[in-house]
Amino acid sequence: MGLSPELISVLNAMIDPVHIINKNYEFEYLNEAFKKWNTRLGFNTNVIGKKLTKIFPFLSDRPLAEYEYIFNTGEPMAIAERTNPRREDFYNIQRIPIMDETSSKVTHIITIIRDVSKNVAIMEALKESERKYRSLVQTMGEGVWVTDKLDRTILVNSTLLKMLNYTEGEMLGRKVTDFLSSESLEFFNDVREQRLAEEVRASTYELVFLTKNGLTVHTRVAGTALYNEENEMIGSFGVISDISTEKRFQQLQERFIGVTAHELRTPLAIISGYLELLQKGTVNTQEHQEIYKAMYKNTVRLQDLVQSVHDLTAIQANVFTINPKKTSLLDFVDHFKKHINMLYPNRLIIIDEQSQSQQIEMMIDSDRINQVLENLIDNAAKNSPVDKIISVNFSYFDNSLIITVQDEGIGISNQILFQLFQPFSHIPTEYSQRGTGLGLYIIKSIISAQNGRLSVLTQENKGSCFTVTIPSLNKEIPR
């Protein structure tokens, strides 16, 4: 073999299994540790002069190719692998070439085997732990955002990606500030400065982010600074909760309080002033009539506002209900006509009564439908000149009441149409400045509660036509 006594002495002293093979893959040397290792694994220890593939018949082509590579290149190689497919033991195998000094060719390869089963088990456990951690992060209902010390993104979960409408590739490596709205930039920088100064390690605050298509997302962030063993800040971990709905509801509440206070002030002032005149007895009979009409009209406004407050609360609490009763369409339209003429004595409102000849009864909530029609006519009156006609048509078809309310006013722009049925969506016009913006939102809920439909056709400067379809809960009943 030509190995020096010094090398043999070193190999014999090693506690790790060692063997040497020649270019024919034949064993030429093995130390005592290799014999013990072979015995423990259940293999033959009488291997000198025998081929590697005979002693270990399960060897694949890969280790043989590695041996061939070392013989051809003279480069050492180290790799962790299982040496026995029937066992889970892992070994770090080092192969070291022995060179012929005269020809500079590899004549033998020394193989040193170190048992690293415990280390491999630890690494596998760490990998499994990381996998479970990543799985937990990805399945969280809140967004997760991990950054390095320069606030560059190194991990985001699917919830956050969906929240901001970005892909993972579009966010990784970019700074948090790239996604913040201008209103949150200064605040975020203050939070970051506090962390760097180690004044605050964990905190909760609100930030506004921008989605990929430019929409704002209000969030609550529970942020924690990350530190290494040397107590140096290496990044941050944030849990992001979308509170946009909560914010919108809060804004609605604030706006509702402001609008309601404003709307209550005017009719109360009118009623109060007229009552004061009546108490003084300084008005004649004709003036009394005008005062009574104004008081009635403003009392109705107060009643409508209180009803709107009640309905809005019920809709938001998901307890909104209707009370359908057997109703004669003839009586319903007749009562409605008198009521509308009293509310709008100075408006030209034409009510088509053709449906009355059908003498039909339906199961409907007539009070709620009255509320719907009052709102639609009030909306038409506020969006059209006093001298223009407002048309109301009643018809009955396919066991459903169909009502249209049409005006000749300013119509509805596309921008307003988009938010028409949202609460507090009132936009003042040249014909009317008042309004809570609750009417269309509430009547849409009333119609939906009766399994009905509401549609609108509109053209700017030409007017609008709202169509309400309410199905009956029973078939046609002749009187």
| Residue 239 pLDDT exceeds 50 | yes
pLDDT at 478: 37
| Residue 476 pLDDT exceeds 50 | no
Nearest to 351 by CA among 376, 327, 326: 376
Choice among 74-78, 300-304, 327-331, 387-391 with the minimum mean pLDDT = 300-304
| Residue 361 pLDDT exceeds 80 | yes
Instruction: Give the torsion through C-alpha atoms of 99, 102, 105, 106, to 10 deg.
Output: -30
Which residue in the block uniquely carries the two structure tokens 């849409």?
A: 444
pLDDT in tens, 434-454: 556 677 888 888 888 888 999
Mean pLDDT for 457-474 is 85
What would you measure as the largest C-alpha separation in the chain, in angstroms?
Answer: 138
pLDDT in tens, 27-45: 888 888 888 877 877 777 7
pLDDT at 263: 65
| Residue 270 pLDDT exceeds 80 | no
pLDDT at 161: 92
Mean pLDDT for 326-346 is 86
| Residue 390 pLDDT exceeds 90 | yes
- At 103 the three-state DSSP class reads coil
pLDDT at 475: 43
| Residue 458 pLDDT exceeds 80 | yes
pLDDT at 53: 78
Nearest to 159 by CA among 245, 238, 247, 250: 238
Mean pLDDT for 199-203 is 61
H runs (alpha helix) in 45-180: 52-55, 61-73, 117-139, 158-164, 168-171
Q: What is the pTM assigned to this prediction?
A: 0.41
Q: Residue 93's CB: how many other CB atoms inside 10 A? A: 19
pLDDT at 469: 92
Q: Compare 243 and 416 and report the one with higher pLDDT.
A: 243
Distance (Å) of CA 231 to CA 223, 228, 270, 320, 383: 17, 5, 70, 57, 67
Amino acid at 29: Y
H runs (alpha helix) in 281-362: 285-316, 329-343
Q: Compare 192 and 224 and report the one with higher pLDDT.
A: 224
What's the CA gap between 162 and 136, in Å, rounded?
17
| Residue 255 pLDDT exceeds 60 | yes
Percent of the chain clearing pLDDT 90 (strictly above): 10
Distance (Å) of CA 166 to CA 3, 212, 214, 238: 64, 6, 11, 17
Percent of the chain clearing pLDDT 70 (strictly above): 70
| Residue 406 pLDDT exceeds 90 | yes
User: What is the rounded average pLDDT for all residues in the chain?
Assistant: 78
Give the angle subtended at the CA of 233 by the CAs of 222 and 174, to the nearest 5°: 70
Residue 425 burial by CB count (10 A; 0-12/13-18/19+): exposed, middle or buried? Answer: middle
Instruction: Give the torsion through C-alpha atoms of 335, 338, 344, 347, to 10 deg.
Output: 110
| Residue 426 pLDDT exceeds 90 | no
Sign of the CA dihedral running 341, 346, 347, 352: positive
What's the CA gap between 416 and 372, in Å, rounded?
20
- At 317 the three-state DSSP class reads coil
Which residue in the block uniquely carries the two structure tokens 């029609």?
A: 373
Q: Compare 286 and 412 and report the one with higher pLDDT.
A: 412
Domains parsed from the chain with CATH numbers: 5-121 (3.30.450.20), 140-242 (3.30.450.20), 247-316 (1.10.287.130), 325-478 (3.30.565.10)
What's the CA gap between 111 and 18, in Å, rounded?
6
| Residue 209 pLDDT exceeds 90 | yes
Which residue in the block uniquely carries the two structure tokens 């020394």?
A: 110
DSSP assignment of 219-276: EEEEEEEEE-TTS-EEEEEEEEEE-HHHHHHHHHHHHHHHHHHHHHHHHHHHHHHHHH
pLDDT in tens, 106-140: 888 888 887 665 555 555 665 666 676 667 777 77
pLDDT at 477: 35
pLDDT in tens, 56-91: 776 667 778 888 888 888 888 877 665 555 555 556
Six-digit token string for 440: 């269309």
pLDDT in tens, 147-193: 888 889 988 988 999 999 999 889 999 999 999 998 888 888 877 77
Residues 6+ apart with CB under 8 A from 395: 354, 355, 401, 402, 403
pLDDT at 479: 34
Which residue in the block uniquely carries the two structure tokens 């209550």?
A: 264
Mean pLDDT for 255-282 is 63
